[in-house]
């Protein structure tokens, strides 16, 4: 990635312009950086951002200039069947501005520049659709608030909203990065009696204890047997938060009868997953997916922010380091090496008046 100047258009009636305060380095962007998934170029990546509203279009009513907001990739139209039935994170007609010359939100030398997820949070400013932001409480720190828009929403939501973990349930989480740690604390908030963290990285396993893991298991061969032995038959829910076919299969195989494996990790574009048919039938287990927490972000983000302010949701321990935009490539090298939970880009001088 290179740091360059681009031009921003003014907000159209349904758009907002935001001065970015902080932006988290998420693994989803990394898939596009290394080519695991395709995307038109040039593109401004970044989707997990917080900031202050600087301008709004004439139709925008839910936020105003000066508000602190968090962006989310789950932009919604509000009118399709998915939106009307309470699933706007699965919107069928996400609003977007055509990137033709003269119509793009971002441009460089008169040519359009794409925005990842119609956002582009690795920048000093964003110009985005109003249905991409949620207002947050006034006393919410912006340098951790950005995490609410993806890592927290995706992880906590997967446990609470999609799986609907109940008090006393036993849970396994495969992959203890930024999202996996939030699955763990989502299961803790839901009252799970046992939360088994699985990872190849010993440092991530130790961090998992901070978020509520009761047991630590090194990933790799034999992990299914270890989990089944620990739980005397398997877990109620197994969350796969890596995006690899072998670990999805592991999650499926460590279930007790009636359990569910939940795919949270983003797989490589075009990859396939296979599971054994007979356990699927005879044990009445299921394989489900969870996208962006399986919950409308404009409802969940303020709720999760309040949990943080009440001391019930741990965001501070998620931030391994705060870096400048100029260190973004080094930050992604560290993410790929598994040496950080979450790096957050912070922009100096951005805050509430």
Catalytic residue set? 26, 28, 31, 47, 150
Q: What is the DSSP letter of 49?
A: E
As to burial, measured by CB atoms within 10 angstroms (0-12 exposed, 13-18 middle, 19+ buried), residue 210 is: middle
Two tokens at 96?
């977007």
Helix ranges (DSSP H) in 96-136: none
In whole angstroms, how far apart are CA 287 and each of 24, 206, 248, 258, 293?
Answer: 29, 28, 9, 11, 16
As to burial, measured by CB atoms within 10 angstroms (0-12 exposed, 13-18 middle, 19+ buried), residue 37 is: middle
> 202-206: long-range contacts at Cβ-Cβ below 8 A with a sequence spacing of 24 or more?
203/339, 204/176, 204/177, 204/338, 204/341, 205/176
Distance of CA 149 to the CA centre of its chain: 6
Q: What is the DSSP letter of 161?
A: I
Two tokens at 331?
């930050």
Residue owning tokens 């990137």: 99
Cα dihedral 302, 121, 10, 55 in deg (nearest 10): 30
Distance of CA 100 to the CA centre of its chain: 29
């Amino acid at each position: 990635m290179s740091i360059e100047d681009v031009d921003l258009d003014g907000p159209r009636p349904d758009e907002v312009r935001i001065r970015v305060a902080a932006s988290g380095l998420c693994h989803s962007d990394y898939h596009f950086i290394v080519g695991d998934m395709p995307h038109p170029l040039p593109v401004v990546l970044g989707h997990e951002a917080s900031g202050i509203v600087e301008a709004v279009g004439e139709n925008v009513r839910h936020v105003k200039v000066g508000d602190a907001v968090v962006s989310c990739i789950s932009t919604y139209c509000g009118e399709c069947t998915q939106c009307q039935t309470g699933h706007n994170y699965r919107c069928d007609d996400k609003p977007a501005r055509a990137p033709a010359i003269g119509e793009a939100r971002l441009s460089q030398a008169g040519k359009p520049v794409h925005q990842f997820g119609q956002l582009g949070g690795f920048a000093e400013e964003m110009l985005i659709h109003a249905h991409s932001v949620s207002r947050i409480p006034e006393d919410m720190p912006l340098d951790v608030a950005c995490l609410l828009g993806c890592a927290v929403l995706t992880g906590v939501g997967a446990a609470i909203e999609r799986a609907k973990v109940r008090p006393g349930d036993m849970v396994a989480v495969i992959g203890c990065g930024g999202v996996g740690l939030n699955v763990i604390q989502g299961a803790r908030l839901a009252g799970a009696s046992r939360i088994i963290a699985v990872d190849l990285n010993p440092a991530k396993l130790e961090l998992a204890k901070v978020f509520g893991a009761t047991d630590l298991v090194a990933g790799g061969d034999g992990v299914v047997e270890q989990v089944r032995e620990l739980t005397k038959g398997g877990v109620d829910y197994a969350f796969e938060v890596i995006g690899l076919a072998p670990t999805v299969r592991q999650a499926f195989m460590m279930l007790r009868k009636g359990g569910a494996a939940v795919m949270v990790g983003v797989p490589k574009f075009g990859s396939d997953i296979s599971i054994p048919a007979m356990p699927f039938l005879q044990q009445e287990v299921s394989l489900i997916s969870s996208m962006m927490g399986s919950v409308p972000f404009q409802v969940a983000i303020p709720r999760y922010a309040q949990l943080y302010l009440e001391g019930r949701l741990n965001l501070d321990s998620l931030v391994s380091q705060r870096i400048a935009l100029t260190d973004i490539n080094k930050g992604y090298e560290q993410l790929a090496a598994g040496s950080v939970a979450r790096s957050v880009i912070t922009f100096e001088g951005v805050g509430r008046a």
